[in-house]
Structure 1
Amino acid sequence: MGISYTLVIKKLSLPTRPTTSTMTSIFIVGFPKDTTPILLLELFSKYGTVENLNIVEDPKTGLSKGYAFIQMKSLKSAERAVVALNNSELRGRKLTVKIGDKDKKKVTESGKAWKSRSRKNESGAGK
């Protein structure tokens, strides 16, 4: 079994820690396998509060597989990080950075719900 790095940051000024539902997950792949959690934390903290960081490791070797999951405090900060870091380079390696599928689905579903309400209102207006 590999070691998983989990870094949790708490701000003393916050009365309660945000729940997982208020955080947005980011998937990052392509970084050098010797990248430390601190380096990723410093990189992503420029765009907002990092709540959790998990670098995925090979269970047999314990070495990084070159991808990680990062939870940002808000969707807005996650989007800023994606815009700034996707297709950028980290120590000679091209990064792919994107919003996690679960969070993309929430954004898409809310958009669909708004569109369907809009269409319903339009069709109801003509009757």
Structure 2
Amino acid sequence: MPDNNDFDDFDDLNHDIELDSLLLNKRISVRYRRNDIKAMIKTHSLFFPKLFRVNLIDISSKGAAVQSDNKLKLKSRITFFLQFADGKRFTINASVAHVHSAPRYGLKFDLYQGELAEHLLHTQTDLEFG
């Protein structure tokens, strides 16, 4: 009777899988593409804080992609303001996670935004996901 362990070395499913190598897009939460949300960023500079409007590319409960003519530095601390068409507002502390494709920037929220996730879902009208 053959030993079942002889086949373990040839079983592709038995090997450790590095998930990061398999996932090109490492985003875990659903991103919504919305053009009905106004977005602004306030930089946290001691001497020259700035408040400016940005174009929202996509958003989730964990982060957002924005486009801006104003330069943002990697890992800089910001406050992200959102205003929905129904008047609902969100103020979110975040950091700049990606700048390599400026003027497009990736923002990572400090905390999971459950209330934002619910509001995004309930106000979604055209079901275009990123």
Same fold (TM over 0.5): no
- Ranked by relative contact order (alpha carbons within 8 Å, sequence separation 6 or more), the top structure is 1
Q: TM-score, normalised by structure 1?
A: 0.28
Provide the TM-score with structure 2 as the length reference: 0.27
Query: Between Structure 1 and Structure 2, whose CA radius of gyration is higher?
Result: 2
Which is richer in helix?
Answer: 1
Structure with the higher fraction of residues in strand conformation: 2
